[in-house]
Structure 1
Amino acid sequence: MKFRYAMVCSSNQNRSMEAHALLKRQGFDVSSYGTGSHVKLPGPSLREPNVYEFGTPYKQMLDELRRKDPELYKRNGILPMLKRNAAVKLAPQRWQDNAADGFFDVVFTFEEKVFDMVVEDLHNRDHVLKKCVLIINLEVKDNHEEAAVGARLALDLCQEIDATESWEDSIDDILTAFEKQHRRKLLYSISYY
């Protein structure tokens, strides 16, 4: 695999981590991030989310929620999600705080507001490398079933991009064909490092 990918979602680590897990299993060089101020996981009610700092190990979240209410968090899919996440990496990372991770060739977001944040963040950075980065938004509803569908779609698109010599030369054709085949509208932008 020749390109480096980032998967970015808001604050609950579901969509980006589902895509990260799938791409990692397929041998891609991939990382994942959230953009919120905290990691927020569903709690017993909408007014009572479980809130964690970025960098809190997934295992710690998993153990804590198992102690709180194992049936609730198993039923709503949070325990399996955290188990998957812990198998992929130690802890959630925040996009804005991880500029030192190097650069990516392609960044995927899974909702438009996150796309806007990533584009703005990249535009506000110093562009010392003069290296292109493609940012693609693939809109995916934030639930476990749609996250799995979104991950497979992201994998399809990554495979198409990775099959090119240079995505810069063929990205319009790749995205148009993808939109037609999957009946999904994509947003994309190009920025620089």
Structure 2
Amino acid sequence: MEAHLRLSAAAAEFPVISFGTGSLVRLPGPTITQPNVYSFNTTSYNQMWEELASKDERLYRSNGILNMLDRNRNLKWGPERFQDWVPGLPRVDHVSKGDKGALGTEAGVVDVIITCEERCWDAVVDDLMNKGNNLNRPVHVFNVDIKDNHEEALLGGKAILDLANALNEAAVEQRAVHGSGGWENGTGAARQSFDERVPDILANWQEKNPNLPALWTLAWL
């Protein structure tokens, strides 16, 4: 969610959707064998915050969970699961009374997907294949490996923003040269030129961020 925050607040105003890939949302509990477990798509960040604050506010504030949930609930309504996402299906704001944030409003299509853990990258690539490429729309899938702690998340979020900016600049340049026709299905000259530039963009980014191992593949929605 740090990357979501960075991207959504960027000058380029990137439209951002964020997901998890596991079966359930798991947050640290009072012991390692007692996690707090929630369902994707049906439990809001505000509900999580209120429940944990009522259980043990001192514990969950000291370990940073309440601060994290407070940030998250101001970004979106609640956690969503990537495998439940339907590409091409537009969505509108989904705000329950008393809940902050929203699922967001977007057209249901993306040009870039970025994960922060290799197992999530594998899950996303596998799921895109399982979804059947119904839109016949190319999508670049990156993984930027980030350790799960606050300091690394801040550094990783900035690096992901740098990557997004480099990709966006290349896309803008190619559209200015070739026009935007055929961008969605990858047949236009602008989109094809952009796609060809992506490996070099990633290589340049990786040179600047050698401590953040990255993966990339071209998939289809």
Question: TM-score, length-normalised on structure 2?
Answer: 0.77
Residue 167 (structure 2) aligns with: 161
Q: 1:70 aligns with which of 54, 57, 70?
A: 57
Percent identity of paired positions between Structure 1 and Structure 2: 42
Deviations 1:31-82 (CA, angstroms, capped at 9, x unpaired): 1000111110011111000001112011110011111111111111100100
Cα drift, residue 127 of structure 1: 1.7
Q: Supply the AA of the counterpart residue of 2:215.
A: L
1:175 aligns with 2:202: yes
Q: Within 2, Cα distance between the matches of 1:144 and 1:49?
A: 19
Residue 73 (structure 2) aligns with: 86
Q: Which runs of 5+ in 2 are unaligned?
A: 91-107, 172-190
SS in 1 for 2:19: strand
Q: Supply the AA of the counterpart residue of 1:174.
A: I
Mean Cα deviation higher: 136-145 or 96-105: 96-105
Q: Which runs of 5+ in 1 are unaligned?
A: 1-16
Task: Answer with 1 or 2: which has the greater Rg.
Answer: 2
1:188 aligns with 2:216: yes
Q: Supply the AA of the counterpart residue of 2:214.
A: L
Q: Within 1, Cα distance between the matches of 2:116 and 2:170?
A: 23
> Do the aligned partners of 1:77 and 1:144 also contact (CA within 8 Å) in 2?
no
Q: 1:48 aligns with which of 34, 48, 56?
A: 34
Residue 4 (structure 1) aligns with: none
Residue 7 (structure 1) aligns with: none
Cα drift, residue 134 of structure 1: 0.5
Query: Which aligned segments of 4 or more residues in structure 1 are displaced greater than 6 angstroms?
Result: none
Listed as ranges, the matches of 1:1-193 within 5 Å are: 17-26=1-10, 27-54=13-40, 55-99=42-86, 100=89, 102-165=108-171, 166=191, 167-183=194-210, 184-193=212-221
Question: TM-score, length-normalised on structure 1?
Answer: 0.88
Q: Supply the AA of the counterpart residue of 1:188.
A: W
Mean Cα deviation higher: 101-110 or 50-59: 101-110
Aligned length: 177
RMSD, aligned α-carbons: 1.1
SS in 2 for 1:108: strand
Q: Within 2, Cα distance between the matches of 1:94 and 1:87?
A: 19
